[in-house]
Amino acid sequence: MRLDQFPPEVQSSVIPEAGGQYLYRCLGCASLFGIEELLYTCPKCGSVLLIEDLAWDRLKEISGPKWRKIFDYRKMSNLAALSGIYRFHELIGSIIPLEDIVYLGEGHTPVIAANAVMKEWAGIDFWYKNDGQNPSASFKDRGMASAFSYLNFLINKRGVRDVLAICASTGDTSAAAALYASYLCGNVKSAVLLPAGKVTAQQLGQPLGSGARVIEIPGVFDDCMKVVEYLSENFSVALMNSKNAWRILGQESYSYEIAQAFDYEVGGLVVVAPIGNAGNITAIMAGFLKMHDLGIIDSLPSVIGVQSEHANPVYLYYLEPEKARRQFRPVTVRPSVAQAAMIGNPVSMPRVIKLVEQYREMAGEESVRIVEVSEQEIMDSMLVANRNGHIACTQGGESLAGIRKAAAENKVDRNRTAILDATAHALKFAGFQDKYFRDGFEPEFEVAPKKEMQNAPCALSYPDSVSSPAGANLGPEEFREFVEYSAAAIADILELKPLKGKL
């Protein structure tokens, strides 16, 4: 829609203006730092940072209902800069002018209702929000759109040059970082550090295809993270891991979109996400809190974070009910089908602790829960979901396994509606499906395939008397014989009934 066609009361707000007063806030010592330079940790105490808009309260001059109207009308604008996560510009990076925003099609992923079979199976009504339908096929694109838009702003307006964007990754961060870097290729080069053999073939192919330098490191993600942190402390690089607080801002868009998709009535929802490095769950909570603060939503949804038994440090931390006695201990991870969340020492743990506290203060002790599931439950859940119309990856399976367990153990009100994060596209993790279908899991995974859940292609074989077109040019008669023989064999396999009067 053209700007002059918007109703007069929102016309002046549809196209946002750059504004706000953004600073890094340290979660350890509360110090504030300017954002002109990219910071990843506090120069004073070493703790992680979040980005804060000191001029936030100016946004309260607009009422909650008016904000809703603005966001809803923005949906109709065809401006590229407002077509992705920056529909919510004022909430996630309003200092970035629209012309610097990098938009590659991220955000506004669909929410897909569970069918009757799935509702029954999960024990609760739910929707999947398919973040696998982002450009690099995972939710990481939300945070990268934000981090790279800010980088683009620094390049265009502050004279920053020759940026090397670098990250460690369990697979999807590097795919997203390499994609966004390739778009800015004149000014940005990218390099990614991957744990050798611990990302899927598809996830390895993505940064290679985008032209990034791909460096494989013997070890797991946590080891790659230590190396990349050392690099960012000692060399001139732009760190694109979720330690980079701009990533968190962009990922808040996930919550804003849920609110918008449910007409801003989110009090009855339970939002479920897998936890790895814990950036996503941090952003989800931060997003809902911000909307609530501006009166855009009037109650907060519950939040459930899910971890595998094989990578469960956040779950273990919250097992202790007494806040003062909780102690964070990193864990050594074991092989997990939820490989993108296979992290024993989450970088965003201090952010989680802070936001869980804030969230529980606003919405009650029960409003945030961490659930633990087995590898078997993750794998089975993904396969059941995919057999019922979804494109969930293994981590999306983890979300489903988590809500199913919470429902079975009465840890969630079954009258609520759950929104499950399908964090990546199933195709990225096809290798795990393949292991399940071929009975190929190494024992460490602790996944035993169920016969009725397996599937395999069925190759037709032919007697010597029937020639096939593989390798030979068949004459018309031979070809007819081939078609008839094949059709009869398929009819037999599928138990097809002949049309009356035929055959």
Ligand X SMILES: *Cc1c(COP(=O)(O)O)cnc(C)c1O
Considering CB distances under 5 to 8 angstroms, the limit depending on partner class, which of ligand X, Zn ion, none binds residue 45? Zn ion
DSSP assignment letter at 497: P
Residue 192: in which H helix or E strand, if any?
A: strand 188-195
From candidates 130, 138, 210, 307, binder to ligand X by CB under 6 A: 138
Stretch that binds Zn ion, among 17-25, 30-38, 354-362, 456-464 (CB under 5 A): 30-38
Number of H helices, E strands in the chain: 17, 13
26 near Zn ion, rule: CB under 5 A: yes
Binding mask 411-440 for ligand X (x = CB under 6 A): ------------xx----------------
Nearer to ligand X by Cβ, of 20 and 313: the residue is 313
The residue (of 155 and 341) whose beta carbon lies closer to ligand X is 341
44 binds, among ligand X, Zn ion, none (CB under 5 to 8 A by kind): Zn ion
**Using the rule CB under 6 A, which residue among 140, 243, 292, 404 binds ligand X?**
140
Q: Which amino acid is at 201?
A: A
The pairing of strands 368-373 and 163-168 is: unpaired
Per CB under 6 A, does 339 bind ligand X?
Answer: no
Task: Compose the 155-194 pattern: x for residues touching ligand X by CB under 6 A, - for all others.
Answer: -----------------x----------------------
Checking DSSP bridges between strand 417-422 and strand 22-26, what pairing results, if any? unpaired
Q: Which residue's CB is nearer to Zn ion, number 41 or number 169? A: 41
- For residue 24, the minimal CB distance to Zn ion (Å) is 10
Q: Which residues contact 219 (CB under 8 A, 6 or more apart)?
A: 195, 196
**Chain mean position to CA 343:** 15
Q: Is 14 in the site for Zn ion (CB under 5 A)?
A: no
Residue 276 binding result from Zn ion, ligand X, none, given CB thresholds of 5 to 8 Å by partner type: ligand X
Q: Which is nearer to ligand X, 59 or 199 (CB)?
A: 199
Say how far apart CA 213 and CA 192 lie, in whole Å: 6
Distance (Å, whole) CA 354 – CA 248: 14
Question: Which segment (33-41, 273-281, 359-367, 368-376) binds ligand X by CB under 6 A?
Answer: 273-281
How far is it, in rounded angstroms, from Cα 474 to Cα 377?
50
Nearer to ligand X, 281 or 419 (CB): 281
Cβ distance to ligand X smaller for residue 190 or 277: 277
Tell which one of 279, 287, 313, 350 touches ligand X (CB under 6 A): 279
Residue closer to ligand X by CB (options 154, 340) is 340
> Closest approach of Cβ 471 to ligand X, in Å?
42
* Residue 253 touching ligand X (CB under 6 A): no
Exactly one of 3, 11, 21, 29 binds Zn ion (CB under 5 A); that residue is 29
3-state SS, 99-164, equals: HHCCCCCCCCCCEEECCHHHHHHHCCEEEEEEHHHCCCCECHHHHHHHHHHHHHHHHHHHCCCCEE
CA separation for the pair 313, 322 (Å, rounded): 17
With CB under 6 A as the rule, give the number of residues binding ligand X: 18
Residue (42 or 179) nearer to Zn ion, CB = 42
Contact 162, 198 (CB under 8 A): no
Q: For residue 401, state whether it binds ligand X (rule: CB under 6 A).
A: no
**What is residue 233's three-state secondary structure?**
helix
Q: Does 280 bind ligand X (CB under 6 A)?
A: yes
Question: Which residue, chain included where needed, has tokens 């600073």?
Answer: 23
Binders of ligand X in range 376-395 (CB under 6 A): 393, 395
Residues with Cβ < 8 Å from 229, sequence gap 6 or more?
A: 40, 239, 243
| 307 part of the interface to ligand X, by CB under 6 A | no
Residue 332 has, within 13 A of its CA and on its CB side, a CA count of 1
CB 430 within 8 A of CB 202: yes
**Residue 402 binds to ligand X (criterion: CB under 6 A):** no
- CB 278 to Zn ion: min, Å: 19
- Residue 360: both structure tokens together: 């529980």
Distance CA 179, CA 189 (A): 11
By a kind-dependent CB cut-off of 5 to 8 A, residue 28 interacts, out of Zn ion, ligand X, none, with Zn ion
| Rounded-to-integer distance, Cα 102 and Cα 146, Å | 8
Nearer residue to ligand X within complex by CB, 281 or 382: 281
Residues near Zn ion (CB under 5 A) are 26, 28-29, 31, 42, 44-45, 47
Residues near ligand X (CB under 6 A) are 138, 140, 172, 242, 274-281, 340-341, 393, 395, 423-424
